[in-house]
Amino acid sequence: MIKEHYASNGEVQIHYYDSGEQSDAKLLPLVICPGLSETAEEYLDLVQTVVPRRSIVLSFRGRGKSDTPENGYDLANHIADLEAVVKHAGVTSYHLFAYSRGVSYALGYTQLHEEHVRSLMIGDYLAEHRAMTADWAVDYTNNYLIPYKRTENIRETAVWGIHRDSSQIQFDHPLHIPVLVARGQLEDSLVTDSDLDHYKQLCSKLTVMEYARTGHALKGEDKDQLYGDIIGFLSTVDEGGKTS
């Protein structure tokens, strides 16, 4: 049974789901970081897919059922949301999957806590935390969130907070854990060949998976293949096998 919880990051309550009660204790848990406007609910299908492995998936601040503070939307705040959930869930060794903007939160987190992260799975995003402009905030709200009815997924307060607080950060710290980079092959993929070369420089244990029918939206036509690849990668890492 998947249960809902709240973790406290200071005064901000972060909502998450945990499938702990139906999990196999011999399998390391999977912690899931959704993308920019995504909520924890949008990954409950992945939680079910990896059963009997325990999964924990959160909604970052300003998204889903988590609180929406007026301030505090930089990289450090999002990393702290993830830290609060991991601490509240009581896990000390786990795999980490992140998609899109969530990748920058996961990469920043892993740089601080690599000793606890058994592997990192990256969903179609480059190794950087992007500064977001005011023009982006207007366009994102008016041409995506409103017409696609996603304003309940991420509040406008959070969008403008991300614009105000975000800064440009390049991740150059080497990772010594197994890393999977999943990227689409259509033109709207956010991982270019040069971005992939950057990952090859950063990650000594790198696996790359590419999806021919998919661009950035990895959970589109190739979702079943993606989820199958995640399960296979997790099993290989758990068994201590070769991942690249």
Taking only the tens place, the pLDDT of each residue in 71-82 is 999 999 999 999
240 confidence band (pLDDT: 50, 70, 90): confident
pLDDT, residue 22, reads 75
* CB hemisphere CA count around 222 (13 angstroms): 20
Specify the higher pLDDT residue, 244 or 7.
7
Residues 6+ apart with CB under 8 A from 55: 17, 18, 19, 23, 29, 30, 31, 32, 46, 47
Strand duo 55-58 + 30-33: pairing: parallel
Question: Please, what is the average pLDDT of the chain?
Answer: 96
Q: What pairs with residue 129 in β-bridges?
A: 169
Give the pLDDT score at 244: 46
Q: Is residue 242's pLDDT more than 70?
A: no
> If you average pLDDT over residues 184-200, what whole number do you get?
96
Mean local confidence (pLDDT), 208-221: 96
DSSP 145: I
| pLDDT tens by residue, 55-71 | 999 999 999 999 999 99
Has residue 157 got a pLDDT over 60?
yes
- 213 φ/ψ angles, rounded to the nearest 5 degrees: -95, 5
Residues β-bridged to residue 122? 98, 181
Mean pLDDT, rounded, for 105-113: 98
* Model pLDDT for residues 23-67, shown as the tens digit of each residue: 999 999 999 999 999 999 999 999 999 999 999 999 999 999 999
Q: What is the pTM of this model?
A: 0.96
Mean pLDDT, rounded, for 199-220: 96
Residue 134, pLDDT > 50, answer: yes
